[in-house]
Amino acid sequence: MPNEILTSSKNPNIQLVRSLLEQSKARRKHNAFVAEGARVLEDGLASAVPLRFMLYKTSLTLRAKTVLERITPDQTALEVEDRLFDSLSDTESSQGILGVFDIPEPYQPARPGFVVILDQLRDPGNLGAILRSAEAAGVQAICLPPGTTDAWAPKVVRSGMGAHFRLPLLHWPWEAITAYVEGLTVFHADMEGDEILWQVDLRGRTALLIGGEAGGISPEGRLLATHSVRIPMAGKTESLNAAVSASVLMLEVLRQRSQKVSP
């Protein structure tokens, strides 16, 4: 590791990180994203996703120091003055370490059996939480049509807790999504859904269509959906948070497939 400490905001690496954190167009232009925090970086380093470089502040947490110890000789880690690093960090209590990774070219299972479509989901925290649950539930691919927030934004990456390194994230137009899920039963999650979640057979080839927090699903999503399901609730709450609803739905798919019996 070099002895020089970065102190200038005009350093090219500093400027690149700032643009990637702030602008989706910069992420598209450079085909790169920022992952911040020791936990996420551990997943990144364990994956096949190329690391471009890492930045770390002089005062590090113990866990962040262990991440640095995993850097190989062909990888770059640059020390940054604390004040300058803190001006970059998107978190209130930063662990003092971040990495710039390539946005991976997503692989797509040729004949998927479990896909999630996130339609007009705009809250980064919700999107990241859904990705985390999706990876845990065994989802094979996430489809992100136009109108859904950028999955590579820093808050989404932070909330995803490493899911970005393990899930295919498909930012596709509706035409491509429609072709990809051909042959799957598309269940739209709706508080007024025709069928109760517990009574629906989700063991076949399935796509779950989750709408946005405010406007629900788009007209294109409605055309794609073949069924609507609702989560039964005993209380007076009108609806659940999008991330909570999606997690309930995805884990019900996992439950049914794990038991291999009628729901």
pLDDT by residue, tens only, the chain of 263 residues: 445 899 999 999 999 999 999 999 999 999 999 999 999 999 999 999 999 999 999 888 888 999 999 999 899 999 999 999 999 876 766 789 999 999 998 888 888 999 999 999 999 999 999 999 999 999 999 999 999 999 999 999 999 999 999 999 999 999 999 999 999 999 998 888 789 999 999 999 999 999 987 778 899 999 999 999 988 888 767 667 889 999 999 999 999 999 865 55
- Domain chopping of the chain, boundaries: 5-102, 114-259
Per-residue model confidence (pLDDT) at position 55: 96
Report which of 262, 259, 199, 263 is spatially closest to residue 228, judged by C-alpha positions.
199
Per-residue model confidence (pLDDT) at position 261: 53
CA dihedral 171, 175, 181, 184 (to 10 degrees): 140
User: Given the structure tokens 């990637």, which residue do they identify?
Assistant: 20
What's the rounded Cα separation, in Å, for the pair 196 and 204? 17
CA dihedral 30, 36, 40, 45 (to 10 degrees): 60
Do 89 and 98 meet the contact criterion of CB atoms below 8 Å apart? yes
What's the rounded Cα separation, in Å, for the pair 247 and 121? 14
Q: Quote the CATH superfamily of domain 5-102.
A: Ribosomal protein L30/S12 (3.30.1330.30)
Report phi then psi at 143, rounded to 5: -100, 130
What pTM does this model have?
0.91
Do 205 and 113 meet the contact criterion of CB atoms below 8 Å apart? yes
Bridge partners for 114 per DSSP? 206
- For 114-259, CATH gives 3.40.1280.10
